[in-house]
């Protein structure tokens, strides 16, 4: 089971997430209370081992700026969290995570998007993602997505992640606010979340997954 800890803003939190077993570290470069500058992200990236993948989260950003930030920070994945067209994903020379807000009327639109992972999130609130709300996981039964390409997000925490995984059988889970206390990443919550997620299925790792 892959785990992405998103909204990392300092070295200490990144190191705690890595020690706890995170597979992805997410940096938010879009409007968010967890937004980080490329310079700070690049500094944090220096302590992240190559076995842990660095993800940059962007919302409707210019392709040239995405490329510039990705190169500066040393990103491994680009997470497109806005209304980006498939052509934008194809223009980026990086592995792509495409986030979709789960809308019952638009689930069929997801399947043909060119990406390595689909990140399925709750409907947008003030910001795209990171709103700490779950969606009806049973909706995923209505769409034919390979479970090996689905990362589940939206309102996950230590208390519900095992149930969410059992119901949806994703390849990974993504968490941000669910491992925070008073708006800041909580090291104990990160540890507990990762432990709970990974005990559901231990055989998945970035290294042995073949992308479509």
User: What distance in Å separates the CA atoms of residue 137 and residue 14, rounded to the nearest whole number?
Assistant: 29
Beta bridge partners of 180: 185
Closest to 145 in 3D by CA, of 89, 87, 88, 100: 100
- Alpha helices in 74-203, H assignment, sequence order: 86-91, 161-168, 187-198
Residues with a known catalytic role: 6, 121
Instruction: Write out 44-83 in H/E/C secondary structure.
Output: HHCCCCCCCEEEEEECCCCHHHHHHHHHHHCCCEEEECCC
């Amino acid at each position: 089971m892959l785990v992405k800890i998103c909204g990392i803003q300092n070295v200490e939190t990144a190191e705690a997430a890595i020690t706890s077993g995170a597979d992805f570290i997410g940096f938010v470069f879009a409007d968010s209370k967890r937004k980080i500058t490329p310079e700070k992200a690049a500094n944090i990236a220096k302590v992240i081992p190559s076995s842990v993948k660095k993800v940059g989260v962007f919302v409707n950003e210019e392709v040239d700026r995405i490329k510039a930030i990705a190169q500066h920070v040393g990103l491994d994945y680009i997470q497109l969290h806005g209304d980006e067209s498939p052509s934008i994903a194809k223009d980026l020379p990086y592995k792509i995570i495409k986030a979709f807000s789960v809308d019952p009327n638009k689930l069929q639109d997801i399947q043909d998007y060119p990406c390595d992972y689909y990140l399925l999130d709750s409907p947008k609130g003030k910001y795209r993602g990171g709103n700490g709300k779950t969606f009806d996981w049973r909706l995923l039964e209505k769409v034919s997505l390979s479970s090996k390409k689905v990362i589940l997000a939206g309102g996950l925490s230590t208390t519900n992640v095992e149930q969410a995984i059992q119901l949806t059988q994703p390849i990974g889970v993504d968490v941000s606010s669910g491992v925070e206390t008073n708006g800041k990443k909580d090291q104990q919550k990160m540890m507990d979340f990762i432990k709970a997620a990974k005990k559901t299925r231990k055989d998945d790792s970035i290294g042995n997954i073949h992308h479509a």
